Structure 1
Amino acid sequence: MRYRFRCEYLGSAFYGWQEQNEAGKTKFVTVQSSLEEAFSIALRAPVRIVGSGRTDTGVHARGQCCHFDYEGELDPQKTVRSINGLTKRLIRIRDLQRCADDFNARYDALMRYYQYTIFTRPVALMRDFGWECGSMHLDLDAMEREAAAFLGEHDFIDFCIPRNDGKSTLCTLSEFRLERQNDWSVVFHIKGNRFLHRQVRAMVGTLFDVGRGRLPEGSVNQIFAKQFKGERTWAPPQGLVLHDVIYRDY
């Protein structure tokens, strides 16, 4: 039988989402490996967790969706309590339920929704959950106008880690909105059907360069057209949160 659940986690505590092994070295602690260990203890059987997508080292999540197979009935409430008691307050799961046997957390996702936070003044309490840019002035209006260039379907090969696996790098973004929370905190709301490795961080870093005047408006379209030459900024991981994954029935 197949089950699914939502989870949130503190990305700075893990070496990304995906379980990793390196020859001759200790296994890295990842979100996936931590969940699999907790479920295997709670259910007393090996459990393989499949997530909706991978998050990088340092990237947080509020609404990651996962599925797993387990041959037997389980008590969702009891299992949730057990898992949350085993994950050292670094991971929390919720909404555990039976689902169709052909449900796939990754391939059935219609939309991924990320948020990225920038602080435009020095902060202490929230610095692990946003990009602290000190007292730098950013032209937020220019950043908002430039963000519109990402909307629609584009080849994001130049906004991700280089890849040569032959897989498509086309993505469709339906939202890229800037929200001014106050006079020192800005949140980008970004929705798309799929995202490539470090794509959001590359996009936000480019907008940051436009906002501080290092790059002119129109740079995003130049990059898409492969007419851009020069260095660009990559936004750090701690400002990024996988906020939600959207499905037809969950």
Structure 2
Amino acid sequence: MRYRFRCEYLGSAYYGWQEQNEHGKTKYVTVQSALEEAFKTALRTPIDLVAAGRTDTGVHARGQMVHFDYDGEIDCKKLTRSINGLGRHTVKIRDLEVCDPEFHSRYDAVSRYYVYSIFTRPVALLRDFGWEIGHLPIDYDLMQREAKSFIGEHDFIRFCIPRNDGKSTLCNITRFELVQVSDYMVQWHIQGNRFLHRQVRAMVGTLFDVGRGRYPEGTVKEIFADRFKGERTMAPPQALVLEDVIY
């Protein structure tokens, strides 16, 4: 039978989602390896977890979708309690349920929704969950105008670190909106059909460079056209959260 669940995790506690093995042994603790160890203990058999996407090291998640196959019936509420008790406090699961045997957490996803938080003044309590840019003068209206250049389907090869796996680098971005949350916090709300390795961080970093006047309006289009040769900022990972995967 096939099961699925949502999970949330503190990205700074793991080396990304994807399990990393070296000579048959786990090299780093990842979200996948931590959860699979808990499931192995609870079910007394190894299982393979398949997530909707491989978040990078340091990136958090609130709505990651995961599926797995298990030959037998499961008391979903009981297993949820077991996994959340056996696992680390930095990763929790919810909404465990039986699903269609053809369901695939990655390939059936219509879009992924991320939120990137920026603090516009020094902070202490939330600094591990946002990018603190302090009192730098930023033109947020300009950043929002520049973000419109990301909307639609584009080849994002110049906004990612290619994994060299032969897969397409085309992505369709449907939302890239700046939201004022408070007098010291703004958030980018970003949604698209798929995202590449470090793509969101590269996009936000470029908008930051434009907003602070390092590069002019139109820089995103220049990068897409491979006419831009300058150095670019990579936004830090701790400010990024995978909020939801839509099916």
- Which residue type is aligned with residue 194 of structure 2? R
Counterpart CA distance in 1 for 2:233 and 2:13 is: 24
Aligned residues: 247
Deviation of residue 165 (structure 1)?
3.4
Which blocks of at least 5 consecutive residues in structure 1 are unaligned?
none
Deviates more, 1:117-126 or 1:19-28: 19-28
- Percent identity at matched positions? 70
1:107 aligns with 2:107: yes
Counterpart CA distance in 1 for 2:40 and 2:144 is: 46
Secondary structure at the aligned position of 2:21 is classed as coil
Counterpart CA distance in 2 for 1:113 and 1:129 is: 17
Aligned to 2:17: 17
Counterpart CA distance in 1 for 2:35 and 2:179 is: 33
Aligned to 2:246: 246
Secondary structure at the aligned position of 2:88 is classed as coil
Secondary structure at the aligned position of 1:108 is classed as coil
Which blocks of at least 5 consecutive residues in structure 2 are unaligned?
none
Whether the aligned pair in 1 keeps the contact of 2:8 and 2:92 (CA below 8 Å) is yes
- Which residue type is aligned with residue 3 of structure 1? Y
Counterpart CA distance in 2 for 1:89 and 1:25 is: 23
- Which residue type is aligned with residue 204 of structure 1? V
Whether the aligned pair in 1 keeps the contact of 2:163 and 2:197 (CA below 8 Å) is no
Counterpart CA distance in 2 for 1:24 and 1:111 is: 33
Whether the aligned pair in 2 keeps the contact of 1:52 and 1:107 (CA below 8 Å) is yes
Counterpart CA distance in 2 for 1:48 and 1:24 is: 15
Normalising by the residue count of structure 1, what TM-score does the alignment of the two structures yield?
Answer: 0.96
Normalising by the residue count of structure 2, what TM-score does the alignment of the two structures yield?
Answer: 0.97
Deviation of residue 166 (structure 1)?
2.8
CA change 1:236–1:242 in 2 (3 A) is same
- Which residue type is aligned with residue 170 of structure 1? L
1:46 aligns with 2:85: no
Aligned to 2:217: 217
Superimposed CA distance per residue, residues 2-48 of structure 1 (whole angstroms, 9 cap, x where no aligned partner):
00000000000001000001349762100000010011111111111
Alpha carbon RMSD of aligned pairs, Å? 1.2
CA change 1:165–1:88 in 2 (3 A) is closer
Counterpart CA distance in 2 for 1:113 and 1:28 is: 27
CA change 1:25–1:92 in 2 (3 A) is closer
Counterpart CA distance in 1 for 2:122 and 2:187 is: 16
Deviation of residue 223 (structure 1)?
0.5
Secondary structure at the aligned position of 1:93 is classed as strand
Secondary structure at the aligned position of 2:34 is classed as helix
